Amino acid sequence: MHTANPMLVCRLCGQKHGEARLEPGQCASCARCGAVLERRGLFGPDATIAYALTGLIFAVPAALLPFMTAEKLGDERVGYLFTGTRYLWGHGMALLAVTVFLFGFLLPVCLLGTLGTLVAEARLGLQPARAQGLHRAAKVLMHWAMPEVQVLAVLVALMKLGSVVDVTIGPGFWCYAAMSVFFLFAWRTFDLAPA
């Protein structure tokens, strides 16, 4: 994916350093300010592709399978990933519905696809002109894609609702949680790859 630069320049202080030959799991630090110049992940560049593809695979059942089931006095309601978004949209909160959909599902899926594409093209020896644009897009998407926030929101809601109704977590939630974990792994391994 990336090759080691013959000259590493610290992004914080501008100090120039010679080439770093790193073993898996090692990092090179700036001699002047201590900032991390380059890291090499434990599993190599193929880990990013594996994590991204696994996250994308988990995204499909997360969107299709029941997220949770709430039951009270014999009345049972099944919720899916987009049930809350549809509810917000239908009750006049369109901006909030779009925000939840974008940050909780669409942007994480786009970021997984972008990371997988970047690494796959580099591994295949393709040097597309769009690679820099995709890399910048990935960095921007990372700041806005937040599936872990939605996982935490569901867990908090479960804690609050647990005493009022019987709530059962469905397979869609577990697939979404797995997608979130692989999303974080994909980004972290991509970020750790030598620049």
- Region 143-171 average pLDDT: 77
Please return the burial class of 75, using the count of CB atoms within 10 Å of its CB with bins 0-12, 13-18 and 19+.
Answer: exposed
Write out the H or E segment, with its range, that includes residue 163. Answer: none
Q: Are 189 and 143 in contact (CB under 8 A)?
A: no
Residue 1, pLDDT score: 40
Q: What is the pLDDT confidence band of residue 41, given thresholds at 50, 70 and 90?
A: low
Residue 182, pLDDT score: 92
Residue 130, pLDDT score: 66
- What pTM value is reported for the model? 0.70
CA 161 to chain centre: 28
Residue recorded with tokens 């090692």: 26
- Region 11-29 average pLDDT: 76
Residue 80 has pLDDT above 90, yes or no: no
Q: Are 120 and 49 in contact (CB under 8 A)?
A: yes
Residue 194 has pLDDT above 50, yes or no: no
Residue 119 has pLDDT above 60, yes or no: yes
Residue recorded with tokens 């974990």: 181
Give the span between the Cα atoms of 156 and 91, in whole angstroms: 22
Please give the span between the terminal C-alpha atoms of the chain, in angstroms, as a whole number. Answer: 9
Residue 135 has pLDDT above 90, yes or no: no
In degrees, to the nearest 5, what angle opens at C-alpha 187 toward C-alphas 10 and 105?
140
**What domains can you pick out in the chain, each with its CATH number?**
1-40 (no CATH), 44-192 (1.20.140)
